[in-house]
Structure 1
Amino acid sequence: MTVPFDLLPGLTATVDDVAYDPTRPAPPDRPHPFVYHVSIHNGSEETVNIFGRKWIVRDTDGDTLVVEGDGVVGQFPKLEPGQTFSYNSYHVIKAESTATGSFFGTTTQGRPVFVRIPRFEMHPPMLA
């Protein structure tokens, strides 16, 4: 039996910045690295432990890449009410793409919760 995750009122995520960064490593089949800065804000009255994330990256060619994993950039943030956890990471893409996702966690009472990451777009520079 799987336990459903609930939205927790006051737990939000923001995409603070997205920038093309050609200095990042990227494989030949996905040569365009984009750095993104994300914050998780706990405006709820409960402490939340974030233990995982899921990203869905779709490009204009119709390809979809799903990335799931434990933690957030190797960390498992514990957010007390009023706290924010901010970080940056990057996606590598082959064509114009959009990204969205979710963070997953539990309250200190053991309630499974999630927060959606707002959709953002990545537009590689035109190649000459």
Structure 2
Amino acid sequence: MVQQVTNGIKITVTSNFEGTSYRNYKLYYAFTYRVTIENQSNETVQLLARHWKIFDSLNNTEIVEGSGVIGEKPILKPAQIHTYTSNCFLTSPIGAMSGFYNMVNFATTKIFKVNIPTFQLMVSNIHN
């Protein structure tokens, strides 16, 4: 589990290896990740967009951007929490993800960036 607070918004991420799958004759490693967004500020905010950088140990990097998260643009009043689960597929058994959310503060109407801490994606039976 990793955590980071930016502008009063706490992001907590956990990840799990789910198994392998083949698509178009290529092996992929499937991971899920669970993100908890906690509004520790005194203002109401809304998540507008996401930006992910997905790395794998084969030096592949993928950028994923889009509106909201899993089809939602959650509004968080002070002390409210929003949790969602998503997934990604890597071409290697080791990788990482990082990124940020664009959010808007309803009181000031200013858009601000909330960092998502880097978290590891690793097949559970791989050790140093």
- TM-score for the superposition, normalised by structure 1: 0.83
Unaligned runs of 5+ in 1: 1-6
**Larger proportion of strand:** 2
Q: Any idea what SS the aligned residue of 1:62 has?
A: coil
2:28 to 25, 28, 31: 31
1:27/1:52 CA distance change after superposition, 3 Å: farther
Amino-acid identity (%): 29
In structure 2, relative to structure 1, the CA distance for the partners of 1:47 and 1:92 (3 Å cut) is same
Distance across 1 between alignment mates of 2:27 and 2:50:
22
Which letter maps to 1:70? Answer: S
Q: In the aligned structure 2, how far is the partner of 1:123 from the partner of 1:82?
A: 32
1:110–1:30 distance in 2 versus 1, CA, 3 Å: farther
Match of 2:91 in 1: 94
Structure 1 CA distance, aligned partners of 2:89 and 2:22? 6
Q: Does 1:112 align with 2:111?
A: yes
Please list the CA deviations of residues 22-66 of structure 1 after superposition, one character each: whole Å capped at 9, or x if unmatched.
28x763546111010001111011110111101101111111000
Q: What's 1:81 paired with?
A: 78
Q: What is the aligned partner in structure 1 of residue 15 from structure 2?
A: 18
Say if 1:30 and 1:92, in contact at 8 Å, map to a contact too.
no
Give 3-state SS (helix, strand or coil) of 1:74's partner: coil
Deviation sequence 1:100-120 (CA, Å, 0-9, x none): 111111111211112111111
Counterpart check, 1:63 vs 2:60: yes
**What TM-score do the two structures reach when normalised by structure 2?**
0.83
Whole-angstrom CA distance in 2 between matches of 1:19 and 1:84:
21
C-alpha distance 43-125 of structure 1, shift in aligned 2 (>3 A): closer
Residue ranges of structure 2 left out of the alignment (5+ in a row): none
Deviation at 1:125, TM superposition (A): 5.3
Q: How many residues align?
A: 119
Amino acid in the other structure paired with 1:13:
I
| Cα deviation, residue 98, structure 1 | 0.8
CA distance in 2, matches of 1:35, 1:80: 27
Q: Could you list the runs of 4 or more consecutive aligned residues of structure 1 that deviate by over 2 angstroms after TM superposition?
A: 25-30, 124-127
